[in-house]
C-alpha cells in the first residue's frame, strides 16, 4: 500500500500563475478530501468527493479554486489565478466508505505564491 500520493511536494509560483496540485488516493477508497493548512486558520476542509462526485465544496474559498476527480484514482486542485494569500500546505486524504473508516492523508504540497 503506497498510501495517498500527492505531487508536487513543493511548488513556488508567481502571483497570477495557474497552479495544479495532484492527488492519487489509496486504491479501493471511494471518498477523497482536499484540505488547506495555514498557521492562522489551521486545517480547513475545502471540498470532498464520494465516488468521484463532488459532495460539498462550501469550503472552497473563491471561484479561483476548482477541483476535479475524473476517475477513482486521480484528483486535481487548481488555483487560477494564484495569489500570495493562497500560500499554504494543501493535503489530500482518502478513505473507504463508512463513518468509522479512518482518513489517510498524503504528505501535502507546500505552495508558495510570491
Q: Which residues bind other proteins (CB under 8 A)?
A: 4, 33, 35, 42-45, 48, 56, 59, 91, 93, 99-100, 102-108
Q: Distance (Å, rounded) from C-alpha 107 to C-alpha 24?
A: 12
Q: Beta strands 88-95 and 74-79: pairing type?
A: unpaired
Q: Between 9 and 15, name the residue whose CB sits nearer to other proteins.
A: 9
Minimum distance from CB of 100 to other proteins (Å)?
5
Smaller CB distance to other proteins: residue 12 or 103? 103
**At its nearest, how many Å lie between other proteins and the CB of residue 42?**
5
Spacing of C-alpha 113 from chain mean position = 17
Residue with cell 478530501: 33
Amino acid at each position: 500500500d503506497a498510501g495517498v500520493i500527492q505531487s508536487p511536494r513543493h511548488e513556488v509560483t508567481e502571483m497570477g500563475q495557474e497552479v495544479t496540485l495532484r492527488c492519487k488516493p489509496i486504491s479501493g477508497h471511494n471518498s477523497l478530501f482536499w484540505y488547506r493548512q495555514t498557521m492562522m486558520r489551521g486545517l480547513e476542509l475545502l471540498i470532498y468527493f464520494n465516488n468521484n462526485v463532488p459532495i460539498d465544496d462550501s469550503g472552497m474559498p473563491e471561484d479561483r479554486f476548482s477541483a476535479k476527480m475524473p476517475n477513482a484514482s486521480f484528483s486535481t486542485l487548481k488555483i487560477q489565478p494564484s495569489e500570495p494569500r493562497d500560500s499554504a500546505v494543501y493535503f489530500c486524504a482518502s478513505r473507504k466508505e463508512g463513518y468509522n473508516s479512518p482518513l489517510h492523508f498524503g504528505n501535502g504540497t507546500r505552495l508558495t505564491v510570491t
